[in-house]
Amino acid sequence: MPGAPTGPDSETGRPALRWRPWPLTYSSAMSDSPASRRPNRAPTGRPQLDSLLDDLRAADAELGERVVDRRPVYDGRYLALEVDRVVRTDGSESVRDVVVHPGAVVVAALDSDRRLLLVTQYRVPSGGAMLELPAGTLDTHDGVVEDPLVAAHRELEEETGYRAGSMERIGGFWSAPGFSTEYLTLYLATDLRPADENRLSPDQDENLRLSRLPWRDAVAAVEGGVIEDAKSVAGILLLGRRLEAVGPRT
């Protein structure tokens, strides 16, 4: 299959290099590009961080890679694979394999005893069960991607059986920006109460176990290598810094 142009250019037989509006929208069943849902690099009001943001904007212009062709290779249940041909500012070309993913949410849910809700799930790619923060992929309906806040409430209830009175965005990151468009939004869920009898259930192909750990023990489990899922490592350590800054309530 590699080398056989399956994109629009296969109609013309011409070399595939063709300029299109930039950034191109990925051709999977999504109305907007994952990058367009990225939070703006808004000024933080902190001079040192804002200077780093200025540097990143300058790097966009200097290092930017313009996508000139996007060839769909596979369209799966919630991820797709596309091969992008890019041209750099110096005119050189390269090829990038891109896993197109609608994005996801990860939820740090703290109960009234400041214990963190964790789920254990078997992961085929890692070949083992893993201890993780509740998380899930954004739903896509008719090409429209779910709002991350809605997804956070949904995933928390599906995976843990709890609803949150408060759901606050406390961060976000790209899971593997070298090859995947997955952006994860991190939420802090508090004011938890059990869902009633109308509880949303896990997806049919999810098999989860719920547990609770005092948040300091969760941080220790990250440092000890017992929690080794990047989104959970990042989420728990970000939460830990936040709770430590607040002071020793627990």
Residues 117-136 that bind a second copy (CB under 8 A): 120-132
Among 14, 38, 114, 193, binds a second copy (CB under 8 A): 38
Q: Is 183 in the site for a second copy (CB under 8 A)?
A: yes
Residues 69-128 that bind a second copy (CB under 8 A): 73-79, 81, 83-84, 86, 88, 94-99, 101, 120-128
For β-strands 135-137 and 104-109, DSSP reports them as: antiparallel
Among 177, 191, 199, 210, binds a second copy (CB under 8 A): 177
Q: Is 19 in the site for a second copy (CB under 8 A)?
A: no
Q: Which stretch binds a second copy (CB under 8 A): 139-147, 149-157, 178-186, 194-202?
A: 178-186
Q: Which stretch binds a second copy (CB under 8 A): 11-19, 61-69, 108-116, 159-167?
A: 61-69
Nearest CA to 153 out of 207, 204, 107, 104 is that of: 107
Residue type, 11: E
Using CA atoms, how far apart are residues 29 and 143, in angstroms rounded to an integer?
A: 5
Nearest CA to 186 out of 235, 121, 142 is that of: 235
| Complex with a second copy: residue 193 or 207, whichever CB lies closer | 207
E-strand stretches of 146-206: 162-174, 183-194
Token pair for 238:
């970000």
Q: Is 231 in the site for a second copy (CB under 8 A)?
A: yes
Sign of the alpha-carbon dihedral angle for 61, 80, 207, 190 = positive
